[in-house]
Amino acid sequence: MVNPQISLLKNWIKEFTYSFYAAVESSIFVTEIRGWMLKKLQQKWKVSGLQAFLILCVFAVTGTLTAYISKAITGWVGFNADTHWAAKTGLRLAVLLFGYQAILLLTAFLFGQFHFFWMFEKKILQRIGLVKKDNPEKRDDEMIIKNKDLQKDGPKHEE
């Protein structure tokens, strides 16, 4: 006669083994998807693997830091449990919308990714309409005019 405890142990080991293999297979699948997503971001942003990693770190640190700062500011202002939810939400949204941009650039500077995020910010501000789009044709025309002036007058030297 088979001992019921040994039978239970065998079944548990069998189920554990199946679960373990399923977990390994799913983690390999997730790792492949992460690698694929990172490659897509690298192609979209035209950056190296290390830069893509640093850019994602900047986003992670900035989000966490902004949430912490907005909580600290609402506490500093004196909001508590009795404060109306709309006032707290309004202040937090203001910190999140405006403070995030500054914190993003500061964090990007610390991670050595300032240029990427400055271009990112400019693009966002252009889409919103707060910053005019650069007109490359106008810049080329200005350079041609400057070069013609230099050719006519020659370089200016102080004596």
Lowest-pLDDT range of 36-40, 95-99, 149-153: 149-153
Q: What residue type is assigned to position 83 of the chain? A: T
In a shared domain, residues 65 and 106: yes
Residue 142 has pLDDT above 70, yes or no: no
Residue in the block written with tokens 């979209």 = 44
Q: Is residue 132 helix, strand or coil?
A: coil
- Specify the pTM: 0.60
In a shared domain, residues 64 and 128: yes
Predicted confidence band at 38 (pLDDT cuts at 50, 70, 90)?
confident
| pLDDT score, position 126 | 86
CB atoms within 10 A of CB 100: 17
Residue 5 has pLDDT above 90, yes or no: no
In a shared domain, residues 112 and 79: yes
In a shared domain, residues 8 and 82: no
In a shared domain, residues 38 and 63: no
Predicted confidence band at 41 (pLDDT cuts at 50, 70, 90)?
confident
Higher pLDDT, 159 or 34: 34
pLDDT tens, residue by residue, 91-123? 888 888 888 889 999 999 999 999 999 998 888
In a shared domain, residues 74 and 33: no
| pLDDT score, position 159 | 46
Domain containing residue 2: 1-46
Q: Is residue 144 part of a domain?
A: no
Separation of alpha carbons 93 and 61, rounded Å: 18
Q: Is residue 157 part of a domain?
A: no
| pLDDT score, position 22 | 66
What is the number of domains present in the chain? 2
Lowest-pLDDT range of 21-30, 85-94, 97-106, 144-153: 144-153
Higher pLDDT, 64 or 125: 64
In a shared domain, residues 38 and 91: no
- Each residue of 26-47: b (16+ CB within 10 Å) or e? eeeeeeeeeeeeeeebbeeeeb
